[in-house]
Structure 1
Amino acid sequence: MVKYIGSKRALLPWITGAIGVIHRQEPVRTVADLFSGTARVGHALKKQGFYVVSNDLMHYAHVLAQALVEADAREYGPERLEPVLRRLNALPPRAGWFTRAYCEQSRYFQPHNGARIEAIREGLEAEAQGDPLLRAVLLTSLMLAADRVDSTTGIQMAYLKQWAKRSYNDLRLEYPPLLPGLGRALRGDALEVAKGLEADLFYLDPPYNQHSYLGNYHVWETLTLWDRPQTYGVAHKRVDVQERKSAFNLRREAGEALQRLLGSIRARHLVVSFNDEGFFGAEAIEAMLRGWGYVHRLTRPHTRYVGARIGIYNPRGQKVGKVSHTENHEFLFVATHSRKVHEAVARSAGAAAG
């Protein structure tokens, strides 16, 4: 999966374990993930046999969910994909607008890889032959390949002053980690999508502060849309970063938005991820969830992303800020209408703590 601030890679066993406890008490068949991001959680849940509906507002996140949640590896297996990937890998480099913007005027990738990204991105549309899931699988392979040779600390608000060692490697497409089975990928505002969804369990991992995922991962959005956007600033962000705002990134609106979302969800169980760097404290979230009946809060420490640990630097490479802390606390709230489930979650948390 691509590097991602707020990624649940290290927390996956914790999240899937909590959902597993619920499932053992009351069988869960369908899980809705309304803020899917890189689809890491949805992918893990699909692997465990759940039918997953993933949703996100970002185009790149929708593409990742199409490949990692919706696409069936039995239909898009290596025997079908490998010849396509070989043809795309063999395309001659093609330096153009992407290479100028993201490799020369900024430094997210070395120019030799930028030219390969451009050639592959242009070529994969013809290879997809109008199949949206095949297109998503190829785009996902390209994003994963680009992520392996980037020169950032994991977010695209900035890039490293000196080229990262991995950026010298040659970009190469590989078969992405597709899974057999069915799922569904949606792209929309969670507040609207939730109104039309029913599932046994909803998993929520909403934005928790003012930093938008579009601003943090604007290069992936551009790579997906391939729309030659107007950009601004040293980071060459898309100008629509300034316009496409989520209520969840606005302190004055985030509380009302979360309450509206919780009020529109139809399910027996709800699992919510949040941390102590967000707009709300744990007690405030628990208060919002009390309408669900039983609420249990799980907490564990988590290392912050590498950019937060090395400090803040200006474009000249001068350190301009101090590292405030290197660790935060992640919260997992399990809300349920079932007392049996609530007690099982509490027992499981107690056993883990002991």
Structure 2
Amino acid sequence: METEGIKYTGSKKLIIPYILELIKTLNVKTVLDGFSGTTRVSQALKKDGYTVFSNDASTWSKVFAECYLINRKPPSYYLPIISHLNKLKGKYGWFSENYGGKPNGGSSVQGDGKKRIWQIHNTMKLDAIREEIENIAKNEIEKSVLLTSLMLAMDKVDSTLGHQVSYLREWAPRAYSTMKMEVPKLIIDDKDHKVFQKDIFKLI
């Protein structure tokens, strides 16, 4: 079953078919994904017809879950918004200051001796788009869909191995590409899915 998410060392992507098969034997209609991470399991459960309660302590996971579980607006609604964001001129901001690097002859190690995750042309787009999302998003769910699109786009031009400390010393070939946002693969239904950001032991 197709799902989408960022590169992540602990992703459950490959075991989703086995998870779904095991759950089918339980004859349940609602499933708690207690450590949802990139939400691939939550996405698959929703596609399979379950009502999903998704939980994770991380804010980025909550954003993904709101995008894939709670949003009910169709892709056509987001297409012109994302087209607008893609056309924004880049600007130097916080992300460029802390995470952007120059091509530097192929080395991601910058003048301060530290490796960078993205090249500066992409962090400048990130800075501009991130600021604009704050200005134009009409509600938290819409904001989560746009942020999900942004995270997916930046994941495609990063220079890592899918772990928060695994920055590559030499720029990955994809890092030279220009990031481009796309509408996430939204899953629309009318079920009462819920998203939590709690300690799992307090939730259950």
TM-score by length of 2: 0.88
Structure 2 partner of 1:87: 84
Match of 2:8 among 4, 8, 11: 4
Q: State the one-letter code of the partner of 2:194.
A: R
Q: State the one-letter code of the partner of 1:119.
A: A
Structure 2 partner of 1:189: 199
Percent pairwise identity: 40
Matches within 5 A, 1:122-133: 122-129=131-138, 131-133=139-141
User: Does the 8 Å CA contact 1:39/1:69 hold for their aligned counterparts?
Assistant: no
Matches within 5 A, 1:203-222: none
- How far did residue 33 of structure 1 move? 1.1
Structure 1 partner of 2:169: 161
Q: State the one-letter code of the partner of 1:33.
A: D
- How far did residue 94 of structure 1 move? 0.9
TM-score by length of 1: 0.51
- How far did residue 56 of structure 1 move? 0.7
Q: Distance between the aligned counterparts of 1:188 and 1:120, measured in 2?
A: 29
User: Does the 8 Å CA contact 2:67/2:148 hold for their aligned counterparts?
Assistant: yes
User: Does the 8 Å CA contact 2:115/2:168 hold for their aligned counterparts?
Assistant: no
- How far did residue 21 of structure 1 move? 2.4
Q: Higher strand share goes to which structure?
A: 1
- How far did residue 6 of structure 1 move? 1.3
Structure 2 partner of 1:207: none
Structure 2 partner of 1:148: 156
Structure 2 partner of 1:66: 66
Q: State the one-letter code of the partner of 2:80.
A: P
| 1:79 aligned counterpart, secondary structure | helix
Structure 2 partner of 1:54: 54
Structure 1 partner of 2:110: none
What stretches of structure 1 move > 2 A for 4+ residues in a row?
A: none
Greater length-normalized contact order (CA 8 Å, ≥ 6 residues apart): 2
User: Does the 8 Å CA contact 1:93/1:118 hold for their aligned counterparts?
Assistant: yes
CA-to-aligned-CA distance 1:249-303 (integer Å, 9 cap, x gap): xxxxxxxxxxxxxxxxxxxxxxxxxxxxxxxxxxxxxxxxxxxxxxxxxxxxxxx
Q: Distance between the aligned counterparts of 1:22 and 1:106, measured in 2?
A: 48
Task: Provide structure 2 residue ranges, at least 5 long, that are not aligned to the other structure.
Answer: 102-113
Match of 1:112 among 113, 121, 132: 121
Q: Distance between the aligned counterparts of 1:124 and 1:170, measured in 2?
A: 19
| 1:52 aligned counterpart, secondary structure | strand
- How far did residue 97 of structure 1 move? 2.0
Q: Does 1:42 align with 2:59?
A: no
Q: How many residue pairs are counted as aligned between the two chains?
A: 186
CA-to-aligned-CA distance 1:22-80 (integer Å, 9 cap, x gap): 23xxxx111111111011101000000000010111111111111112222xxx21221
Q: State the one-letter code of the partner of 2:9.
A: I
Q: State the one-letter code of the partner of 2:14.
A: A
- How far did residue 106 of structure 1 move? 3.7
- How far did residue 99 of structure 1 move? 0.8
Q: State the one-letter code of the partner of 2:68.
A: L
Q: Does 1:97 align with 2:94?
A: yes
Q: State the one-letter code of the partner of 2:179.
A: L
| 2:196 aligned counterpart, secondary structure | strand
Q: Distance between the aligned counterparts of 1:111 and 1:58, measured in 2?
A: 26
Q: State the one-letter code of the partner of 2:202.
A: E
- How far did residue 7 of structure 1 move? 0.5
Q: State the one-letter code of the partner of 2:159.
A: S
Q: Distance between the aligned counterparts of 1:85 and 1:191, measured in 2?
A: 38
Q: Distance between the aligned counterparts of 2:195 and 2:26, measured in 1?
A: 24
Structure 2 partner of 1:345: none
User: Does the 8 Å CA contact 1:16/1:45 hold for their aligned counterparts?
Assistant: yes
Q: State the one-letter code of the partner of 1:189.
A: D
- How far did residue 20 of structure 1 move? 1.6
Structure 2 partner of 1:300: none
CA-to-aligned-CA distance 1:147-170 (integer Å, 9 cap, x gap): 011000111213000100111111
Q: State the one-letter code of the partner of 1:40.
A: R
| 2:150 aligned counterpart, secondary structure | helix
